[in-house]
Amino acid sequence: MANKETVLVSGGAGYIGTHTAVALVEAGYDVVIIDNFSNSEPSAVEGVEKILGRKVAFEKVDTCDKDALRKVFEKYPFNTVIHFAAYKAVGESMAEPLKYYQNNLVSFMNIVEMMKEFNRPNILFSSSATVYGDAEKLPVTETTPRQPATSPYGNTKQIAEDILRDCCRAYEGLYGIALRYFNPIGAHPSALIGELPRGVPNNLIPFVTQTAAGIRPMLSVFGSDYNTPDGTCLRDYIDVVDLAKAHVAAVNRMTGHKMEQKYEIFNVGTGTPLSVLELITRFETANDLKLPYKIVDRRPGDVPAVWADTALANEVLGWKAERDIDDTLRASWAWEKHVRGIK
């Protein structure tokens, strides 16, 4: 690339943000990471730098702080923003809805407002398969109707999608892409970056790896009486390195002026459903260990099954999930061992 394009990555010290920052630099972009470390650590940025063998621009900024954000826009010449910064715990959002609406929507609107003020054209938003809820037809395509959100967290994703759609329609210079992630898992093959959940993990794989590490005595499988082949829920588990590459493909589309509409949406998944029990078995086999688990009641709010139709991302972004699930599960375990200092 003759002139390196710069991409601002908000929440760039987080799980998906770190992997995306690495993928962007490897693809020839410069990145500026901003993060307030509300759910991440400075070591995550160091991990990015170790993988890349160079420093990356970093500013400790809360995206809810508009004046601090304005300084970032004044300082750096990026045309593209990837907005990851958000709270993401479904259960916590039920207990503290205002915290979620305040943080996730204010930070998003601040970003869009600054982009408008500084004439920066491209924004990529982290959306979620949660917007599909309990879909009537599977797999879900981007035109599958969204269901009413079942948590404030999910609602912030739906509302932010709508804000982005309306702003792209109204403001001439603004272009938006929403990526709807399915279930991101795995870690960078170097084991230098990965997911760092605080406290008791809500998501399946961090709970699995912490159980394998002996931090949790037992994994609970939430429900085995769903109308699915083995009775446990079906999900589409997407490797975080593949997911990061989907962001690069979307950024290429934006910076290459290839967008056909001002606001576009893409599913980012593998297209292959796996049950909870299948995932546990594959984790055990891939890593040659046994996981203690028990079947317990369903977790309120879980949908029985959701997986992606990925045709649009495959054809339009030229992106496809490539990582083998067993490699992904080995990377998850390698990362947990790295974090815990297990040999």
Q: Catalytic site residues?
A: 153
Q: What's the min distance (Å) between Cβ of 215 and ligand UFG?
A: 13
Q: What's the min distance (Å) between Cβ of 92 and ligand UFG?
A: 11
- 15 binding ligand UFG? (CB under 6 A): no
Comparing CB distances to ligand UFG, the nearer of 39 and 79 is 39
| Segment interacting with ligand UFG, rule: CB under 6 A, options 105-113, 220-228, 324-332, 334-342 | 220-228
Comparing CB distances to ligand UFG, the nearer of 40 and 80 is 40
Q: What's the min distance (Å) between Cβ of 213 and ligand UFG?
A: 15
Comparing CB distances to ligand UFG, the nearer of 90 and 325 is 90
Which residue number has the CB closest to ligand UFG?
Answer: 233
| Segment interacting with ligand UFG, rule: CB under 6 A, options 47-55, 69-77, 202-210, 329-337 | 202-210
- Per-residue binding letters, 176-195, with ligand UFG (x by CB under 6 A): -------x------------
Alpha helices by DSSP H, 59-170: 66-75, 90-95, 97-100, 106-117, 152-170
Q: Among residues 8, 140, 167, 221, which is the contact residue for ligand UFG, using CB under 6 A?
A: 221
The residues with which 6 forms a beta bridge, in sequence order, are 30
Q: Among residues 141, 147, 190, 202, which is the contact residue for ligand UFG, using CB under 6 A?
A: 202
DSSP state of 211: H
Q: Among residues 15, 29, 153, 175, which is the contact residue for ligand UFG, using CB under 6 A?
A: 153
DSSP calls for 117-137: HTT--EEEEEEEGGGG-S-SS
The residues with which 119 forms a beta bridge, in sequence order, are none
**Gap between the terminal Cα atoms of the chain:** 41
| Segment interacting with ligand UFG, rule: CB under 6 A, options 12-20, 28-36, 58-66, 213-221 | 213-221
Q: Among residues 116, 282, 299, 338, which is the contact residue for ligand UFG, using CB under 6 A?
A: 299
Which residues between 70 and 89 bind ligand UFG (CB under 6 A)?
88
Q: What's the min distance (Å) between Cβ of 290 and ligand UFG?
A: 17
Q: Among residues 18, 107, 128, 287, which is the contact residue for ligand UFG, using CB under 6 A?
A: 128
Comparing CB distances to ligand UFG, the nearer of 24 and 208 is 208
Comparing CB distances to ligand UFG, the nearer of 88 and 262 is 88
The residue ranges that bind ligand UFG (CB under 6 A) are: 88, 90, 128, 130, 153-154, 183, 202-204, 207, 219-222, 233, 235, 276, 299, 302
